[in-house]
Each structure stands twice: as structure tokens, then as C-alpha cells.
Amino acid sequence: MSIVLAILAFAIAIGVLVAVHEYGHFWVARRSGVKVLRFSIGFGRPLWRWRGKDQTEYILGSLPLGGYVKMLDEREGEVAKEDLPRAFNRQSLGIRSAVVAAGPVANILFAIIAYWLAFVFGIAGIKPIVGEIMVDTPADRAGFRVGEEIIAVGEQTTPTWASVRHAIFVASQHESRVPVTVSGAGGEQKLSLDLSQVQVDVDPEKARDILEQLGVQPERPLLAPVIGEVLPGEPARQAGFQPGDRVLSAASQPIRTWNEWVEFVRDHPGEAFNVEIERGEERLILNLQPAIIEGEQGPVGRIGAAPEPPGELPEELRATLRYSPFAAISRAVEKTWEIGSLTVLMLGKMLAGEVSTKSISGPITIAQYAGYSAQIGFVPFLNFLAVVSISLAVLNLLPVPVLDGGHLLYYFIELIRGKPLSEMAQAVGQQIGIVALIGLMCLAFYNDFVRLLG
């Protein structure tokens, strides 16, 4: 992935989402009669400055890492007598709450629109056809069979493997079993899948794919036994393998697919054997000795080589998740609710110690995901924007002073007490909130650097 693309995609994503958030505050404030002094996207040296209606100053900062809306307020400076009715602090509790809540609400509405566009354009994926079932696993005990297509998990239709994974993950947070509808040679049937073994590992770096936990492997096109990448310092590099080499046989045993090659290597840890390869128009014999790696079932072999990337996906394995413009509205709302509630649930589990704080990502990881999704296409980037927009809304609604949720907490206390908290109490709360945010940022950066350095 291009570093430039990642940075550019990150800047666009943050710029768009911050603009949406701040415009929510701005729009409600203006329509509530509050005078807005400044609308700024980004910090640092202004790249562009313009003064519009009502003398509101619009600024585009050089650092697209945030933004703010500055409103007329007696607590921040002297206000002319004729402008006092338009000062934010003079507004009713309802108006102040609406202005503060408008930012997160705007992010939620943006996510709904982004998902709507994605569903209308269509989300490309791989058809959920079962390729392999591991013995004595939840999928095996449920009665899954090779070649069957998973068409629904619970009430959720699943035209792609991505939708299957998501539906199972969501179901696993609330249920120990879920009905799964499959279609095969015998027609459609419902299976009961045990989800008790599905878990979000306390260490996300060690977490296994949901399908792997259930014991099912997707149907995949057969890969040719062609070397695509050779890792430095590994047995394949030491034996003389190069990208583009086609494996013909190992220890005189014919190798026809990449899976056969992987199985052969895994079954011969630490054993030296000859490998016949085809390199261009030449046939060569290389001597290879796989490294010994301790696996769950005992020692396995590894050589440090990856396959050549497959070509275009066969038509019979392609699928697209698409809805009509009208049907996409309800589906977009449902998807936004699913991701939002799941975000809150995972945050609660993190606070309870059930999920590791290693799940928290900072700007480096977000930039990587932004670049990756932008590289794949417009629709994946829309999905990325929707998820981050929902996360931004949830984060801002946390009852932490400095954040929108903290201000709403103050207003709730004001509603109960009949008067606002003292300026001293609010100042102390702000300081606590700043310390908490700095700690969260440090943790996010630490996680980013740990992932980056491996």
C-alpha cells in the first residue's frame, strides 16, 4: 500500500467526518438563534479563511486532525448588549443540549447515508460456499456439508462471507446458539449452530477468525503451486527459491496445487527433501528443510514463502450485496444500529476487562485502514467512513468532560438540580476529562507503534 495513499485517504476521511460533526453543531446553533463566530476544520496555520453571513469566520486549518465551532458566549469574553440574546450561555437548557448533541447525531446520519450509498451501489464479496469442515467442531456437529451455501444467519440474509462473519459475530454477543439456513443438493434446511466457542480474545493479536473457531473453511479457487514471495532468513530463501518458481514435485511426490504444497511442508518439519521446480524454461532441483514450528496439534513445518496472488475470482464464487434505493434505507438504518450498539457493547466489555485495550486504534492504524479501503474501491471506503463516523459519534457521547457527552452530563445535572454546576466544579471536570483523553491518546499511539513494529 502506498504511504502517500494512506495519508491522503486518512486526511480525506478525518476532514469529511470532522466537517460533518462540526456542521451538525453549526447548523442547529444557527437555526436556534445562536451567533456563530467561527467554523473551523483543522488546526494550525489557516490555509483558507473567509467571512460569510453574520460575520461568521470560516477557516480551513493546515492540520486536518479536528475542528471546532466557536459561538458567542459571555464566559469567553465581553458580549455587546444587543447580542446578549444570541449568546450560547443565555439559551435555554433544551437549545444548549440540542446544539451539543447535534454533532454526534450528524455523524450517525452520515453513517446511514454512507451505508445507503454502499447498499445501492452494491458491496462485492465472495459467495459463502462451504469448502471444508473440520472434524468435531461446532460446524461439523451442526451438520454443515461441503458445497452447501449459507444463505442466512438467524433472520439476516448472507450473500457474502463478510456478511456471514458479521452476522455470526453479532449473534455471538447475545446468543449461545443461532439458526443458520443453508442450501445444498437436498434443498434448503435450517441448522442450529453452537456459538459458545466463539469469543473475542482478550488479546486481539491472538484472536482467531470466527469461521476458524467454528471449524468451517470457505470454498476457494485452487491456487497453482507458484511462489509469490520469499521471506528473508527463512528456509525457502536459504534453499534458493525465487518469486515465480512453480513447484512440480517434493520428494518425488507430484504437487498440483498450493494447498498440496502447504500440506506437504507442514507434514515434514525439520526433514530435508528435494523439490523440483520450474523457473522460466528451466527445471531445477532444490534441497529444502522446513523449520520446526510448534502448532496446536504438534510440530509443523514452515518455509517462509507465500503464494502468487490469484487472478480474477471465478464467476461462480462472486457475489454482491445490493438493495433497491428504497429497501436500502431501512437496511442502512439497521446496519448503523448494529455497528453502533456493537461499538457500545465492546466498549463496555473493554471497561469490564473482557476485551483487551489493544483493540484501541490510533491515527496510524486508522490511516492504514483508510488507505487499504480506498485502494480497494469507492464502496469499501464508504463502509470505512461509516464505521469511523459511528465510532466518532459514540466516543463523543461518552460522559467525559471536554467531550459532547460530558457537556450533556452537565446539562442533565443542571436539569436535576435546577441550576448549573459551579464554574469551579466544571473546571475540575474539564481537567479530569483532558487527562483522560491524553491517556487514551497515548494508549492508542502505543498500540499503533506496537502493531507497526510487529
- pTM score > 0.75 for this model? no
| Percent of the residues in the chain that have a pLDDT greater than 70, as a whole number | 94
Q: What is the pLDDT of residues 184-238, one digit of tens each?
A: 888 899 999 998 877 755 444 444 578 888 888 888 777 889 999 898 889 999 9
Strands 305-307, 298-302: parallel, antiparallel or unpaired by DSSP?
Answer: unpaired
Do 300 and 283 reside in the same domain of the chain?
A: yes
- Of the three residues 238, 273, 307, the one that is the final residue of a domain is 307
Using pLDDT thresholds of 50, 70 and 90, give the confidence band for residue 296.
low
Residue 8 shares a structural domain with residue 107: yes
Query: How far apart, in whole angstroms, are the C-alpha atoms of residue 289 and residue 75?
Result: 74
What's CA 30's distance to the chain center, in Å?
A: 34
Residues 6+ apart with CB under 8 A from 434: 402
Q: What is the CATH number of the domain that holds 272?
A: 2.30.42.10
Cα 440 to Cα 40, 357, 376, 435, 444: the distances in Å are: 24, 10, 30, 9, 6
Pick the residue with more confidence: 423 or 324?
Answer: 324
What is the structure's pLDDT at 366? 78
Residues 197 and 254 in one domain: no
Q: Is residue 18 assigned to a domain?
A: yes
Residue 244 sits in which domain range?
Answer: 227-307
3-state secondary structure of 187: strand
What per-residue confidence (pLDDT) applies to 453?
67
User: Residues 102, 194: one domain?
Assistant: no
Place of cell 532468513: 233
> Is the residue at 414 inside a domain?
yes
Tell whether 237 and 129 lie within a shared domain: no
pLDDT digits (tens, 9 = 90+) for 88-132: 999 999 999 999 999 999 999 999 999 999 999 998 888 999 988
Q: Which amino acid is at 227?
A: I
With H, G, I as helix, E, B as strand and everything else as coil, classify residue 325: helix
Both 18 and 115 in a single domain? yes
Residues 15, 110, single domain; the answer is: yes
The residues that bridge with 410 in the sheet, in sequence order, are: none
State the catalytic residues. Answer: 22
Query: Distance between CA 203 and CA 148 in Å, rounded?
Result: 33
Q: Is the pLDDT of residue 403 over 80?
A: yes
In a shared domain, residues 194 and 97: no
Claim to verify: residue 242 and residue 200 sit in the same structural domain = no
Q: Specify the number of domains making up the chain.
A: 3
Whether 292 is in a domain gets the answer yes
Asked, for residue 46, whether it belongs to a domain, the answer is no
> How confident is the model over 301-336, as pLDDT tens digits?
999 998 887 766 677 788 888 889 999 999 999 999
Q: Identify the pLDDT of residue 452.
A: 66
Distance, CA of 203 to CA of 402 (rounded, Å) = 30
Residues 129, 219 contacting (CB under 8 angstroms): yes
Kindly state whether residues 379 and 405 are assigned to the same domain.
yes
Q: How far is CA 229 from the centre of its chain?
A: 27
343 within some domain: no
List pLDDT tens digits, range 140-153: 999 999 999 999 99
Average pLDDT of the chain to the nearest whole number: 87
- Same domain for 14 and 100, yes or no, is yes
What is the C-alpha separation between 389 and 140, in angstroms, rounded? 38
User: How far is 184 from 150, CA to CA, in rounded Å?
Assistant: 9
Is 328 a domain residue? no
> Does residue 53 belong to any structural domain of this protein?
no
Same domain, 217 and 231: no
Q: Are 288 and 272 in contact (CB under 8 A)?
A: yes
Domain-ending residue, one of 269, 299, 321: 321
pLDDT in tens, 331-384: 999 999 988 988 888 788 777 776 666 767 777 777 777 887 888 788 989 999
Angle subtended at Cα 14 by Cα 403 and Cα 412, rounded to the nearest 5 degrees: 15
Q: pLDDT tens across 242-282, in order?
A: 999 999 999 999 999 998 999 999 999 999 999 999 999 99
Boundary residue ending a domain (278, 307, 336): 307
Domain presence at residue 332: no
